[in-house]
């Protein structure tokens, strides 16, 4: 760590009450007592009580004794203390810090400062604990004893163990595609209010399948202390589809699985992965081993990789990480892939994810910004061109990512290495990254991941922080669950991404004649292998002679399907809906979407209200809101108020009105105000543009209920005479989840 290492044992000590286990997201008061060491602290010296970047502990404030997060600090000798809550004014990963400046006096050895986070003496309910679990959550104490602003870390900082709360939401997961007769598993968990898998479950559950499943018991025991219930070696002996309901002992449904399709001879099988996140060795939470174990055992992933920021990753940790992925990789059960995030500034390329097929390869960093050992600095690639040059002979795959830094793929791209772009993560939704690729005529696939920092890879809730989206997942179409299988899918762009749910998607292009499909991109590789085929799958690149092709789309959602959009690049071709004008009811959907701009502070605030005149609101519900502090704040039959944010993704409110065709709705947001006649609202969105980056709000009418989780249709798509035709679909469920397929690239 780049802090001063001068005599930490002389800088004092700190204690914390309470310590031990504390429930995630609970309201508490913590008393931290710092005792000055041999040097004391000089006038204008200071302390910092720091927490990791990703934490949503707090908020901390000093002005209102009755409000949440009220925090006080008192010096035993009466010194005046200056308190500030700072973000990103401390060296990462300790980005959030309580600054305590000593003024008009000094501390001598043995003097104390008592800090009360969530001081309840004035009526505050306390401070909210971080909403996700962490075995060692530190109140990291830094001391500037000599008033040089050169901080020394105490040898030991106080800490707590943040544990899950009681179960609130149940979830059950099946694969999405298996061969007839092949074994599969059913995975069940119960999450607390903040999305942490709970170990406070003790009950029997009943299991009811939509068709006979060999090996499925009628009931199973969920034992206290366990974080999941997994039933192995289940089979369907006939082709078909199955979903399984999980019921309590009284017969009420706790949850149901996604649908599993079982086919006699599928060309490829489905494997689900989240290949992008990090642990506390860099900027995340919990250890790298705990990270992989969560992905495998609590998020039920098939594939996972660790993507720490390169400028924080020492050679020692890189070696440990490689040893860990080698140990965790278990073909047929779980694929662990070695890799890292090349984390350069956007001006010289921005974030790229690097995945190696084998352990033991070099890490070509963007810089050594937080690594004192410069012995391998000569291997750095300081811009994306340098990175691709370093990697050209490596057995690896890259993709472009938008996190704090967004990938500038118009600055640099290598089609041999950079196979895909990440359009969704916990940071939001970034379809514009795919559009950037189209603008440069790149042939890339689509992936979605979490970029999780909160120790929940594969099931990454945003908590109460500025992250406003649930982390994504990618479905890989592969011949087997192995590193070779996943890498071949990556290189062929044979995958689709979702915003975190597991839906079944099968999209194919059917030319009238045969098409020449290339194993690798002929624009990038000399004379790649090819074959004549009668159908093309997601990610394929093919030469065709036809004026048009038939696109077949088959979707089985994890919730009812709202719509499916078909695109050729940035050109919208059709919207498929499972309902018509005659099905529309009294349900009005208000949607917020977009971002401020491409960089870090992209989050848009949509806090607002609506009022209806000449009609009544029967019911109002928020959708795609992942933060318990946001959502609907108040409502009656005339008004609804809310808090909401978007960062390229979307969320909104559904209203069920008393009458379908009466009155007016006035919508007020920080980015515009609009009044609409209720009878003029139809199935097509009325869009109110709010400038910035695709920032807008929209209003449309929906059926009162949607129940169909399936969409199956065909559409004839013209093939461009010049350049690529880039066919892909975006699926949108009524609950707000989305999916994108990798484009099928066609050229004459």
Same domain for 186 and 158, yes or no, is: no
Same domain for 489 and 507, yes or no, is: no
CATH (domain of 542): 2.60.40
Same domain for 131 and 260, yes or no, is: no
Confirm whether 372 is domain-assigned: yes
Q: How far apart are CA 694 and CA 439, in angstroms?
A: 17
pLDDT value of residue 94: 94
Confirm whether 709 is domain-assigned: no
Residues 57-81 have a mean pLDDT of 97
Span 562-585, pLDDT tens digits: 999 999 999 999 999 989 999 999
DSSP state of 662: -
Over 70: is that where the pLDDT of 113 sits? yes
Q: List, as one string, the DSSP characters of 556-578.
A: E-SS-EEEEEEEETTEEEEEE-S
Q: How far apart are CA 369 and CA 371, in angstroms?
A: 6
Confidence tier at 89 by pLDDT (50, 70, 90): confident
pLDDT value of residue 731: 98
Confirm whether 707 is domain-assigned: no
Confidence tier at 2 by pLDDT (50, 70, 90): low
Span 593-614, pLDDT tens digits: 999 999 988 999 999 999 999 9
- Global confidence as pTM: 0.96
Report the alpha-carbon angle 379-385-389, nearest 5.
55
Residue 55: how many CB atoms within 10 A of its CB?
25
- Sheet containing 240-242, strands listed edge to edge, beginning at the edge strand earlier in sequence: 177-179, 260-263, 240-242
Token pair belonging to 687 = 């869009």
Radius of gyration of the CA atoms of the chain, in A: 27
Token pair belonging to 507 = 């999209």
Quick one: which of 548, 492, 546 has its CA closest to 521? 492
Over 80: is that where the pLDDT of 467 sits? no
Which residues, 6+ apart, have CB-to-CB distance to 606 below 8 Å? 592, 642, 643, 644, 645, 646, 651, 669, 670, 671, 697
Question: Considering 474, 502, 530, which residue would you say is the last residue of a domain?
Answer: 502
Cα→Cα distances 621→232, 617, 624, 648, 655, Å: 37, 11, 10, 21, 7
List of long-range contacts for 253-257, beta carbons under 8 Å, 24+ apart: 254/170, 254/190, 254/205, 255/169, 255/170, 255/171, 255/172, 255/188, 256/172, 257/172, 257/173, 257/174, 257/186
Span 188-240, pLDDT tens digits: 999 999 999 999 999 999 999 999 999 999 999 999 999 999 999 999 999 99
Same domain for 610 and 690, yes or no, is: yes
Quick one: which of 225, 161, 229, 165 has its CA closest to 196? 165
Cβ atoms of residues 538 and 701 within 8 Å: no
Span 32-44, pLDDT tens digits: 999 999 999 999 9
> What does DSSP say about strands 335-337 and 303-305: parallel, antiparallel, or unpaired?
parallel
Three-class SS of 235-282? ECCCCEEECEEEECCCCCEEEECCCEEEECCCCCEEEEEECCECCCCC
CATH (domain of 257): 2.60.40.10
List strand residue ranges (DSSP E) for 275-312, in order. Answer: 303-305
The percent of residues in the chain predicted with pLDDT above 70, rounded, is 100
CATH (domain of 141): 2.60.40.1510
CATH (domain of 352): 3.20.20.140
Same domain for 107 and 17, yes or no, is: yes
pLDDT value of residue 3: 85
Span 339-370, pLDDT tens digits: 999 999 999 999 999 999 999 999 999 999 99
> At 314, is the secondary structure helix, strand, or coil?
coil
Residues 253-272 have a mean pLDDT of 97
Confidence tier at 137 by pLDDT (50, 70, 90): very high
627-637: b (≥16 Cβ within 10 Å) or e: beebbeeebee
Residue 368: alpha-carbon gap to chain centroid: 27
Span 294-314, pLDDT tens digits: 999 999 999 999 999 999 999
Span 148-172, pLDDT tens digits: 999 999 999 999 999 999 999 999 9
Helix axes 315-328, 288-297, angle to 10 degrees: 30
DSSP state of 671: T
Q: How many CA atoms lie within 13 A of 693 on its CB side?
A: 22
Confirm whether 710 is domain-assigned: no
Question: Considering 486, 502, 518, which residue would you say is the last residue of a domain?
Answer: 502
Confirm whether 261 is domain-assigned: yes
Token pair belonging to 626 = 């992942």
Same domain for 253 and 292, yes or no, is: no
Q: List, as one string, the DSSP characters of 709-747.
A: -EEEEEEEEEPPSSS-EEEEEEEEETTS-EEEEPPEEEE
Which residues, 6+ apart, have CB-to-CB distance to 393 below 8 Å? none
Token pair belonging to 736 = 């707000």
* Burial class of residue 42, CB neighbours in 10 A (0-12, 13-18, 19+): middle
Same domain for 614 and 553, yes or no, is: no
Overall number of domains in the chain: 5
Same domain for 111 and 176, yes or no, is: no
Please name the residue that has the structure tokens 């400028």: 311
Same domain for 306 and 434, yes or no, is: yes
Cβ atoms of residues 180 and 234 within 8 Å: no
Question: Considering 502, 532, 565, which residue would you say is the last residue of a domain?
Answer: 502
Confidence tier at 737 by pLDDT (50, 70, 90): very high
Q: How many CA atoms lie within 13 A of 299 on its CB side?
A: 33
Confidence tier at 88 by pLDDT (50, 70, 90): confident
Confirm whether 345 is domain-assigned: yes
Same domain for 38 and 114, yes or no, is: yes
Write out the residue range of the structural domain in which residue 484 sits. Answer: 276-502
What's phi and psi for 4, nearest 5 deg?
Answer: -60, 140
Residue 107: how many CB atoms within 10 A of its CB?
26
Q: How far apart are CA 45 and CA 322, in angstroms?
A: 42
pLDDT value of residue 465: 73
The answer for 611, left when phi > 0, alpha when psi is -120 to 50, beta otherwise, is beta
pLDDT value of residue 578: 87
Confirm whether 401 is domain-assigned: yes
Confidence tier at 1 by pLDDT (50, 70, 90): low
Same domain for 671 and 609, yes or no, is: yes
Token pair belonging to 442 = 């790149």
Q: How far apart are CA 245 and CA 235, in angstroms?
A: 16
Same domain for 564 and 604, yes or no, is: no
Confirm whether 567 is domain-assigned: yes
DSSP state of 658: S
Cα→Cα distances 703→126, 459, 557, 585, 653, Å: 44, 31, 18, 5, 14
Q: How far apart are CA 462 and CA 558, in angstroms?
A: 21
């Amino acid at each position: 760590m780049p802090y001063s290492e001068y005599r930490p044992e002389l800088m004092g000590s700190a204690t914390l009450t309470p310590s031990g286990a504390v429930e995630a997201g609970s309201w508490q008061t913590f008393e931290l007592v710092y005792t000055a060491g041999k040097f004391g602290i000089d006038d204008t010296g200071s302390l910092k009580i720091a927490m990791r970047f990703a934490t949503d502990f707090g908020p901390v404030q000093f002005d209102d004794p009755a409000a949440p997060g009220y925090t006080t600090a008192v010096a035993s000798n009466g010194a005046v203390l200056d308190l500030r809550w700072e973000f990103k004014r401390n060296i990462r990963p300790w980005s959030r810090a309580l600054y305590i400046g000593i003024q008009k006096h000094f501390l001598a050895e043995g003097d104390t400062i008592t800090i009360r986070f969530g001081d309840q003496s004035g009526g505050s309910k306390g401070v909210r604990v971080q909403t996700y679990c962490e075995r060692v959550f530190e109140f990291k104490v830094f001391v500037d004893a000599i008033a040089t602003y050169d901080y020394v870390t105490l040898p030991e900082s106080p800490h707590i163990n943040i544990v899950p709360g009681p179960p609130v939401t149940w979830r059950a997961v099946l694969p999405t595609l298996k061969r007839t007769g092949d074994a599969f598993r059913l995975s069940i968990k119960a999450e607390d209010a903040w999305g942490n898998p709970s170990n406070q479950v003790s009950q029997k559950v009943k299991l009811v399948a939509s068709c006979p499943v060999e090996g499925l018991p009628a009931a199973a025991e969920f034992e206290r202390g366990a974080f999941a219930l997994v039933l192995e070696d289940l089979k369907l002996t006939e082709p078909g589809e199955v979903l399984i309901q999980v019921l309590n002992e009284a017969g009420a449904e706790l949850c149901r699985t996604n649908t599993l399709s079982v086919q006699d001879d599928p060309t490829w099988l489905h494997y689900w992965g989240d290949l992008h996140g990090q642990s506390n060795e860099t900027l995340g939470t919990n250890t790298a081993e705990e990270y992989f174990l969560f992905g495998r055992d609590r998020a039920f992933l098939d594939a996972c990789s660790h993507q720490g920021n390169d400028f924080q990753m020492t050679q020692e940790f890189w070696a440990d990480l490689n040893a860990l992925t080698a140990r965790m990789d278990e073909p047929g059960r779980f694929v662990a892939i070695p890799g890292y995030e090349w984390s350069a500034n956007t001006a010289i390329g921005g974030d790229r994810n690097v995945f190696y097929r084998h352990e033991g390869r070099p890490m070509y960093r963007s810089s050594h910004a937080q690594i004192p050992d410069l012995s391998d600095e000569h291997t750095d690639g300081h811009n994306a061109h340098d990175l691709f040059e370093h990697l050209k002979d490596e057995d690896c795959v890259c993709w472009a990512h938008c996190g704090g830094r967004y990938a500038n793929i118009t600055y640099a791209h290598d089609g041999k290495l950079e196979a895909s772009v990440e359009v969704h993560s916990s940071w939001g939704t970034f379809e514009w990254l795919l559009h950037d690729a189209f603008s440069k005529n790149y042939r890339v696939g689509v992936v979605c991941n979490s970029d999780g920092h909160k120790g929940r890879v594969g099931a990454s809730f945003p908590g109460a922080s500025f992250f406003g989206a649930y982390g994504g997942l990618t479905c890989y179409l592969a011949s087997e669950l192995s590193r070779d299988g996943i890498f071949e899918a990556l290189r062929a762009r044979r995958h689709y991404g979702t915003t975190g749910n597991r839906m079944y998607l099968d999209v194919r292009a059917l030319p009238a004649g045969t098409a020449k499909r290339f194993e690798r991109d002929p624009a990038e590789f000399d004379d790649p292998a090819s074959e004549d085929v009668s159908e093309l799958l997601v990610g394929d690149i093919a030469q065709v002679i036809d004026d048009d092709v038939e696109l077949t789309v088959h979707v089985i959602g994890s919730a009812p399907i709202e719509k499916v959009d078909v695109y050729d690049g940035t050109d919208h071709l059709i919207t498929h809906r499972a309902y018509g004008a005659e099905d529309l009811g009294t349900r009005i959907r208000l949607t917020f979407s977009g971002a401020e701009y491409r960089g870090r502070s992209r989050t848009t605030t949509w806090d607002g209200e609506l009022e209806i005149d000449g009609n009544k609101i029967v019911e109002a519900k928020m959708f795609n809101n992942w933060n318990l502090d946001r959502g609907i704040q108040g409502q009656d039959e005339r008004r609804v108020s809310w808090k909401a944010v978007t960062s390229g993704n979307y969320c909104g409110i559904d209203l069920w009105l008393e009458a379908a065709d009466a009155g007016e709705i006035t919508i007020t947001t920080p980015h515009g105000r609009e009044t609409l006649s209720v009878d003029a609202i139809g199935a097509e969105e009325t869009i109110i543009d709010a400038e910035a980056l695709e920032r807008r709000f929209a209003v449309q009418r929906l059926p009162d209920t949607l129940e169909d989780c399936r969409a199956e249709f065909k559409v004839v798509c013209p093939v461009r005479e010049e350049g690529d035709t880039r066919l892909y679909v975006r699926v949108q469920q009524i609950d707000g989840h989305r999916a994108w397929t990798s484009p099928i690239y066609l050229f004459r």
